Amino acid sequence: MIRVMVVEDDPHNALLFRKLLERRGGCDVTVTECAEELFEKVASGAVDLIIMDVSLANTTWEGAPVNGIDLCRMLKSSATMARVPVMLATAHAMRGDAEAFVKRSGADGYVSKPILDHGAFVAEVQAMARKAA
Protein backbone atom coordinates (compact mmCIF):
# COMPACT_ATOMS: atom_id res chain seq x y z
CA MET A 1 0.00 0.00 0.00
CA ILE A 2 1.33 3.42 -0.99
CA ARG A 3 1.70 5.76 2.00
CA VAL A 4 0.91 9.33 0.96
CA MET A 5 1.32 12.43 3.08
CA VAL A 6 -0.82 15.35 1.94
CA VAL A 7 0.46 18.73 3.16
CA GLU A 8 -2.55 20.97 2.67
CA ASP A 9 -4.09 23.84 4.64
CA ASP A 10 -7.50 23.87 2.97
CA PRO A 11 -9.79 21.29 4.61
CA HIS A 12 -11.88 20.81 1.44
CA ASN A 13 -8.84 20.08 -0.71
CA ALA A 14 -7.41 17.82 1.98
CA LEU A 15 -10.65 15.82 2.10
CA LEU A 16 -10.73 15.50 -1.70
CA PHE A 17 -7.13 14.27 -1.81
CA ARG A 18 -7.84 11.78 0.98
CA LYS A 19 -10.99 10.39 -0.63
CA LEU A 20 -9.49 10.12 -4.10
CA LEU A 21 -6.31 8.44 -2.95
CA GLU A 22 -7.91 6.10 -0.42
CA ARG A 23 -10.98 5.08 -2.42
CA ARG A 24 -9.62 5.06 -5.95
CA GLY A 25 -5.96 4.44 -5.27
CA GLY A 26 -6.01 2.19 -2.22
CA CYS A 27 -3.46 4.48 -0.56
CA ASP A 28 -2.86 5.07 3.13
CA VAL A 29 -3.23 8.86 3.46
CA THR A 30 -2.08 11.19 6.23
CA VAL A 31 -3.03 14.86 6.05
CA THR A 32 -1.11 17.61 7.83
CA GLU A 33 -0.12 21.22 7.53
CA CYS A 34 2.51 20.87 10.25
CA ALA A 35 6.11 21.02 9.01
CA GLU A 36 7.40 19.17 12.07
CA GLU A 37 5.04 16.24 11.44
CA LEU A 38 6.05 16.17 7.78
CA PHE A 39 9.77 15.96 8.53
CA GLU A 40 9.28 13.44 11.35
CA LYS A 41 7.21 11.05 9.19
CA VAL A 42 9.48 11.34 6.16
CA ALA A 43 12.64 10.83 8.24
CA SER A 44 11.12 7.72 9.85
CA GLY A 45 10.45 6.16 6.44
CA ALA A 46 6.67 6.24 6.92
CA VAL A 47 5.98 8.15 3.66
CA ASP A 48 6.26 6.95 0.06
CA LEU A 49 5.06 10.15 -1.64
CA ILE A 50 4.16 13.71 -0.64
CA ILE A 51 1.50 15.93 -2.18
CA MET A 52 2.45 19.46 -1.20
CA ASP A 53 0.26 22.55 -1.45
CA VAL A 54 2.34 25.49 -2.67
CA SER A 55 0.74 28.20 -0.52
CA LEU A 56 0.35 26.79 3.04
CA ALA A 57 -0.88 29.97 4.71
CA ASN A 58 -0.61 28.66 8.29
CA THR A 59 2.54 26.55 8.22
CA THR A 60 5.71 27.45 10.11
CA TRP A 61 9.14 25.90 10.60
CA GLU A 62 11.23 26.94 13.59
CA GLY A 63 8.91 29.88 14.20
CA ALA A 64 9.04 31.30 10.66
CA PRO A 65 6.32 31.02 8.02
CA VAL A 66 7.09 28.58 5.20
CA ASN A 67 5.30 27.56 2.03
CA GLY A 68 5.33 24.36 0.02
CA ILE A 69 8.24 25.53 -2.14
CA ASP A 70 10.35 26.11 0.98
CA LEU A 71 9.42 22.75 2.51
CA CYS A 72 10.12 20.90 -0.72
CA ARG A 73 13.56 22.52 -1.00
CA MET A 74 14.33 21.49 2.59
CA LEU A 75 13.25 17.91 1.92
CA LYS A 76 15.23 17.68 -1.31
CA SER A 77 18.36 19.08 0.36
CA SER A 78 18.45 16.19 2.85
CA ALA A 79 20.18 13.03 1.64
CA THR A 80 17.82 10.84 3.68
CA MET A 81 14.58 12.61 2.72
CA ALA A 82 15.29 13.52 -0.92
CA ARG A 83 14.32 10.02 -2.09
CA VAL A 84 10.63 10.68 -1.32
CA PRO A 85 8.90 12.11 -4.40
CA VAL A 86 7.04 15.38 -3.98
CA MET A 87 4.11 16.41 -6.17
CA LEU A 88 3.27 20.09 -5.81
CA ALA A 89 -0.41 21.03 -5.83
CA THR A 90 -1.68 24.55 -6.45
CA ALA A 91 -4.47 26.58 -7.93
CA HIS A 92 -1.84 28.79 -9.60
CA ALA A 93 -2.15 27.12 -12.98
CA MET A 94 -1.12 29.73 -15.50
CA ARG A 95 1.11 28.76 -18.42
CA GLY A 96 4.65 28.23 -17.17
CA ASP A 97 3.72 27.93 -13.48
CA ALA A 98 4.27 24.17 -13.33
CA GLU A 99 7.78 24.37 -14.71
CA ALA A 100 8.69 27.37 -12.55
CA PHE A 101 7.40 25.79 -9.33
CA VAL A 102 9.11 22.46 -10.02
CA LYS A 103 12.38 24.19 -10.88
CA ARG A 104 12.32 26.45 -7.79
CA SER A 105 11.39 23.66 -5.39
CA GLY A 106 13.11 20.57 -6.76
CA ALA A 107 9.75 18.76 -6.77
CA ASP A 108 9.21 15.65 -8.84
CA GLY A 109 5.85 16.65 -10.28
CA TYR A 110 2.95 19.08 -10.28
CA VAL A 111 -0.84 18.96 -10.28
CA SER A 112 -3.16 21.92 -10.64
CA LYS A 113 -6.21 22.35 -8.43
CA PRO A 114 -9.02 21.72 -8.80
CA ILE A 115 -8.27 18.21 -9.95
CA LEU A 116 -10.49 17.56 -12.94
CA ASP A 117 -9.39 14.10 -14.07
CA HIS A 118 -9.47 12.04 -10.88
CA GLY A 119 -8.40 8.80 -12.56
CA ALA A 120 -5.36 10.37 -14.20
CA PHE A 121 -4.35 12.03 -10.93
CA VAL A 122 -4.51 8.75 -8.98
CA ALA A 123 -2.62 6.92 -11.74
CA GLU A 124 0.11 9.60 -11.71
CA VAL A 125 0.49 9.34 -7.92
CA GLN A 126 0.73 5.55 -8.12
CA ALA A 127 3.27 5.66 -10.95
CA MET A 128 5.43 8.25 -9.19
CA ALA A 129 5.44 6.23 -5.94
CA ARG A 130 6.28 2.97 -7.74
CA LYS A 131 9.11 4.61 -9.67
CA ALA A 132 10.68 5.85 -6.42
CA ALA A 133 10.37 2.50 -4.63
pLDDT digits (tens, 9 = 90+) for 4-22: 999 999 999 999 999 999 9
**What angle, rounded to 10 degrees, do the helices at 97-105 and 68-76 form?**
40
CATH architecture, domain defined by 3-132: 3-Layer(aba) Sandwich (3.40)
Distance CA 79, CA 94 (A): 32
Say if residue 105 is exposed, middle or buried (CB neighbours under 10 Å; 0-12, 13-18, 19+): buried
| pLDDT tens-place string over residues 79-104 | 999 999 999 998 876 777 778 888 99
Evaluate whether 31 touches 14 at the Cβ level (below 8 Å).
Answer: yes
pTM of the model: 0.95
Domain boundaries, the chain: 3-132
The torsion region of residue 26 among left (phi > 0), alpha (psi -120 to 50) and beta comes to left
